[in-house]
């Protein structure tokens, strides 16, 4: 196997998602190598969330393939895809407000997802280690025993990221991880993503250009379900076609 193939973690290959004739994704392709950080941007309706939905198995493509670790996954159920090592940031209802921060993480770390088994009976050492590491990474160790519902907004977002980390997923999909955050929290979130080691591969969708700049990762621009450009944030900012689609004309 060549080095390039060995490093390839995810390939979205010519994927089309068709809603009764409307193509939310239209022959879209993207590849991620192990350890990559990538940001996907694009105007409203460009297909960014549909891309995440397709990778995680919530939406089925009518054409194309999603290949993870060398195997096609586009027809697998979502739980099977998660079990293979892809996790999307849990949305707010994923956090149980009356449980402690640590217990929320213990549930996320639980591989068999039978959550009632995760409480009271003690958690296996590997899961405990994953929980402790996730707490440390997002800076919530001191808050581990408070009810999750009492966390500030930014802390809740970090808990959601920690829950993804606790699953030990290799590929992490973060859909607008800085939504509702102020500048200081946004910077901390960028630092947090930087601090994840090379054993994590991260795909981020975000509208906040200062956050995208702080991430410093290659940027893929989508428009109308299609690939438009890829480059550094500076290259993308300077691109006339990208500027045009954000201003709402040209394609
Ligand atoms: N279930 C659905 N049925 C029909 N159309 C859909 C469905 N889901 C999404 N779409 C449409 O597909 C297009 C892409 O949506 P998507 O949410 O992926 O875009 P996005 O880039 O994430 O946008 P935003 O930045 O506003 O979140 C939009 O025009 C949307 O209205």
**CB of 20 shorter than 6 A to ligand 1:** no
Model confidence at 125, in pLDDT bands (50, 70, 90)? confident
pLDDT score, position 117: 54
Question: Whole-model pTM?
Answer: 0.90
DSSP state of 92: G
- Which atom belonging to ligand 1 lies closest to the Cα atom of 17? 12
Region 106-125 average pLDDT: 67
pLDDT score, position 95: 87
Number of DSSP helices (H) and strands (E) in the chain, helices first: 11, 10
The angle formed by the CA atoms of residues 193, 195 and 201, to the nearest 5 degrees, is 55
* Segments making up each domain of the chain, as ranges: 36-58+77-247
Q: Look at ligand 1, atom 1, and give the residue with the nearest C-alpha.
A: 19
pLDDT beyond 60 at 2 = no
pLDDT score, position 250: 47
CA of 45 from ligand 1 middle (Å) equals 5
Phi, psi of 14 (to 5 degrees): 60, 45
CATH H-level superfamily of 36-58+77-247? P-loop containing nucleotide triphosphate hydrolases (3.40.50.300)
Whether complex ipTM tops 0.90? yes
| 17, 24, 28, 40: residue to mutate for ligand 1 pocket, most atoms within 8 A of CB | 24
**CB of 245 shorter than 6 A to ligand 1:** no
- 20: burial class by Cβ within 10 Å (0-12, 13-18, 19+)? exposed
The angle formed by the CA atoms of residues 161, 57 and 197, to the nearest 5 degrees, is 35
CA of 19 from ligand 1 middle (Å) equals 10
- Which atom belonging to ligand 1 lies closest to the Cα atom of 47? 18
**CB of 24 shorter than 6 A to ligand 1:** yes
pLDDT score, position 110: 80
Q: Regarding predicted confidence, which is higher, 15 or 129?
A: 15
| pLDDT tens string 39-89 | 999 999 999 999 999 999 999 999 999 999 999 999 999 999 999 999 998
pLDDT score, position 76: 96
- 58: burial class by Cβ within 10 Å (0-12, 13-18, 19+)? middle
Q: Look at ligand 1, atom 28, and give the residue with the nearest C-alpha.
A: 45
**CB of 54 shorter than 6 A to ligand 1:** no
Annotate 142-179 with DSSP letters as a single string: GGTTSBGGGS-HHHHHHHHHHHHHHTT-SEEEEESTTT
- Which atom belonging to ligand 1 lies closest to the Cα atom of 46? 21
pLDDT score, position 39: 97
**CB of 48 shorter than 6 A to ligand 1:** yes
Region 223-244 average pLDDT: 94
3-state secondary structure (DSSP) of residue 66: strand
Region 212-232 average pLDDT: 96
């Amino acid at each position: 196997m060549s080095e390039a193939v060995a490093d390839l973690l995810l390939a979205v290959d010519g994927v089309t998602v068709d809603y009764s004739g409307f193509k939310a994704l239209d022959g879209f392709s993207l590849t991620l190598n192990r350890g990559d950080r990538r940001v996907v941007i694009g105007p409203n309706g460009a297909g960014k969330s549909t891309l995440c939905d397709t990778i995680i198995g919530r939406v089925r493509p009518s054409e194309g393939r999603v290949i993870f670790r060398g195997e096609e996954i586009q027809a697998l159920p979502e739980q099977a895809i998660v079990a293979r090592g892809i996790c999307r940031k849990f949305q707010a209802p994923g956090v149980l407000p009356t449980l402690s921060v640590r217990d929320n993480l213990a549930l996320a770390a639980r591989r068999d997802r039978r959550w009632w088994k995760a409480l009271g009976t003690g958690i296996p050492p590997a899961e405990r280690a994953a929980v402790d590491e996730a707490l440390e990474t997002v800076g919530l160790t001191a808050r581990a025993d408070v009810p999750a519902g009492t966390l500030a907004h930014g802390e809740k977002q970090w808990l959601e990221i920690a829950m993804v980390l606790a699953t030990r997923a290799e590929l992490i999909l973060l859909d607008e991880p800085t939504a509702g955050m102020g500048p200081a929290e946004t910077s901390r979130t960028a630092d947090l993503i930087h601090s994840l080691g090379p054993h994590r591969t991260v795909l981020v969708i975000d509208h906040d250009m200062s956050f995208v700049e702080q991430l410093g990762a290659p940027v893929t621009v989508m428009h109308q379900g299609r690939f438009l450009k890829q480059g550094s944030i500076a290259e993308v900012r300077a691109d006339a076609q990208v500027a045009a689609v954000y201003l709402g004309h040209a394609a």
